[in-house]
């Protein structure tokens, strides 16, 4: 983007999904035209989330894992430890990009990130997210309110993938899910976070204020 904008990056470690969602909503509701954009990096304890148009039939057997009905786009997905979640709290009008543009930037950033680890990935316009050999490695779910985005992306790095077998991921029956650990044995989630942060900051801002 050509306009220099402040960007605050927050690392929230492991945080409850519902509490974080409410904080995102409150931030977006209260922000003003001069409010700095923020990007939040975190992980969630095990949870299934069902998008605003999500169908409960895609929850096959949630068992003991909590289910949260949420206001993002998309169907059902799973969050858990070992997955990097990034929430993009951006003023799209100020950045002069639309929702489709934001999706494309996020997908391309993830594709470039994975290429740096020797993993060839791609996007599908009809099914947002990032895929490796047809298996989903990263999911996207966004909400835009008054030109400002919240929610974001989830990248599977080194996690237990079994809970994905108890849903139709993103509403697709039989969709295979994968993770970076499958392709890079010694992957460190902290290194991936640092790498992804650098790439997203380069995409969305020239200046950065880093709040740990």
**Cα gap 35→183, rounded to integer Å:** 40
- Domain contains 1: no
Active site residues: 170
- Domain contains 210: no
| Predicted local confidence at residue 125, as pLDDT | 84
Look at residue 1 and tell me whether its pLDDT is greater than 70. no
CA-nearest of 172, 160, 92 to 131 is 172
Q: Which range of residues forms the domain containing residue 179?
A: 7-203
Summarised one tens digit per residue, pLDDT across range 127-152 is 899 999 999 999 999 999 999 999 99
- Domain contains 104: yes
Please enumerate in sequence order all residues whose Cβ is within 8 A of that of 104, keeping only pairs 6 or more positions apart, or say none.
Answer: 123
Look at residue 208 and tell me whether its pLDDT is greater than 50. no
- Domain contains 94: yes
Look at residue 2 and tell me whether its pLDDT is greater than 80. no
**Cα gap 16→119, rounded to integer Å:** 31
Neighbours of 116 (CB within 10 A): 10
User: Within 13 Å, how many C-alpha atoms sit on residue 124's CB side?
Assistant: 15
Which pairing describes strands 37-43 and 7-14: parallel, antiparallel, or unpaired?
A: parallel
**Cα gap 86→77, rounded to integer Å:** 15
CATH number of the CATH domain containing 167? 3.30.930.10
How many angstroms separate the first and last alpha carbons of the chain? 25
Beta bridge partners of 17: none
Crossing angle of helices 189-204 and 99-115, rounded to 10°: 140
Look at the chain and report how many structural domains it folds into: 1
Look at residue 116 and tell me whether its pLDDT is greater than 50. yes
- Domain contains 211: no
- Domain contains 212: no
Confidence of residue 72 (pLDDT cuts 50, 70, 90): very high
Summarised one tens digit per residue, pLDDT across range 146-170 is 999 999 999 999 999 999 999 999 8
- Domain contains 112: yes
- Domain contains 2: no
Confidence of residue 4 (pLDDT cuts 50, 70, 90): low
Averaged pLDDT score across all residues of the chain: 92
Question: Which structure tokens are listed for 53?
Answer: 């148009």
């Amino acid at each position: 983007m050509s306009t220099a904008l402040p960007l605050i990056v927050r690392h929230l470690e492991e945080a409850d999904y519902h509490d974080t969602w409410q904080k995102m909503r409150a931030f977006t509701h209260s922000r003003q035209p001069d409010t700095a954009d923020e990007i939040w990096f975190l992980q969630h304890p095990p949870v299934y989330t069902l998008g605003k148009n999500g169908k409960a039939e895609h929850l096959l057997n949630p068992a003991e894992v909590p289910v949260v009905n949420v206001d993002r786009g998309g169907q059902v997905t799973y969050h858990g430890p070992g997955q990097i979640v990034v929430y993009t709290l951006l003023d799209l009008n100020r950045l002069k990009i639309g929702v489709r543009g934001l999706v494309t930037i996020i997908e391309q950033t993830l594709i470039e990130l994975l290429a740096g680890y020797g993993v060839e990935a791609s996007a599908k316009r009809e099914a947002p997210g990032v895929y490796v050999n047809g298996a989903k490695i990263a999911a996207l779910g966004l909400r835009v309110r008054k030109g400002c985005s919240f929610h974001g992306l989830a990248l599977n790095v080194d996690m237990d993938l079994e809970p994905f077998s108890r849903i139709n991921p993103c509403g697709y029956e039989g969709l295979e899910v994968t993770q970076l650990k499958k392709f890079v044995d010694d992957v460190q989630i902290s290194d991936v976070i640092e790498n992804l942060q650098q790439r997203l900051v380069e995409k969305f801002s020239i200046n950065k204020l880093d709040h740990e």
